[in-house]
Amino acid sequence: MNTAIEIKKGIYWIGVNDRRTHIFENYWPLPKGVAYNSYVIIDEKVVVLDTVERSHMDQYLESLEAVLQGRKVDYLIINHVEPDHTGSIKALLSQYPETTVVGNAKTFPMLRNYYGIEQNLLEVKEGDTLNIGARTLTFAMAPMLHWPETMVTYLPGDNVLFSADIFGAFGTLDGSIFDDQVDLDYLEEEISRYYSNIVGKYGVPAQTALRKLGSLPIDMICALHGPIWRTHIADILAKYDKWSKYETDEGVVIAFSSMYGHTEQMADCIGRFLAEMGIKKIRIHDTSKTHPSYIINDIFRYKGVILGSSAYNGGIFPTMETLLNELENMCIKNHYLAYFANKTWGGGALPCFKAFAEKIKWEVVAEPNEATGAMSLSDVEQCRNIARAMVEKLRS
């Protein structure tokens, strides 16, 4: 089935939708699926930019063949080696064996290690160009967004940026592929969750890339996931600028781990006091039910973070430990932190929270509270103090 769409004269989208994969990178949930985007430029030379995940290889090659109408592929540009974008590369090269593979110095060792590809390679560096007829492509390196070999390809004149995983999104493209023809409200969380969990660790490289690309006239951004941006380009650039600077809104994320409900009771108590003090954006998550990707996404949005856990085997509850590990790995900056705990006898969560606070270097705004079983009046007052200290810090 030919699913190709001409996005500009001689430039085609030949992506696919994946509604069967439940988790991305074998970790991130995909409740709305995901799209894998690939692109073709037809000029004196034919250029394919990236491929798709291998489970959709047959559909992809059929669309490519329909666009080519008997022509061969001259160049395959690999902006990003991750297998969801190179999974069909061996099949494509088998069908079009004279294709030259274009990448940078960090691309080719990965291609060799993954697929044994070592021939017909063309290395490009920052600022290099490739003439394909009436058009000339320009290459820019974007390392650590989110792999070290990532680069982008720019098409002057048409002002199209092929941006690899940058500016991508989770979610399938249901009926159309352009930002002004899809329901961006429906995809809003998937756009920000994609950034916060896939790109979010790399705020400094993102700022470097934004400065590099900021001088280019851009009429269209063609990412490898999510919609093609042609109307809301300024909006997505502004979002990336804000997110990569770790700028947040006034709000508080409360994440808790509770075995028998006592820690959850403390979380609800703090949430109620926050609301009474005028905080409207309060997000409370149970780490045993909510995947860390959603909690991390909210933490990228809101400045205040309050964490609570029951004791478990002399330490912290496992799902909270997972969240703490994820947050440490993400290196998220510029947040206010408070934490609380609950125990039946020996405790153990508070030392883990303290160690986490020291590693992540968020400002701790209140003395922690550790309750024993059901909340006492004293515990209620301490929860009020945590809420008050967070609100005062947010509004200072």
- Given this model, what pLDDT does residue 110 score? 98
- Given this model, what pLDDT does residue 394 score? 97
- Given this model, what pLDDT does residue 158 score? 97
- Given this model, what pLDDT does residue 3 score? 84
Contacts of residue 136, defined as CB under 8 A and 6 or more positions apart, other chains included, come to 129, 130, 156
- Given this model, what pLDDT does residue 256 score? 98
∠ Cα 173 178 182 (to 5°) = 55
Rounded Cα distance between 125 and 75, Å, is 16
- Given this model, what pLDDT does residue 164 score? 97
What residues in the chain have per-residue pLDDT under 70?
1
Give the total residue count for the chain. 396
Query: Which of 214, 227, 215, 130 lies closest to 178, judged by CA?
Result: 227
Q: How far is CA 189 from the centre of its chain?
A: 11
- Given this model, what pLDDT does residue 2 score? 76
pTM for this model (two decimals): 0.94
- The residues pairing with 284 across neighbouring beta strands, listed in sequence order, are 254
Task: For residue 133, give the DSSP letter.
Answer: S
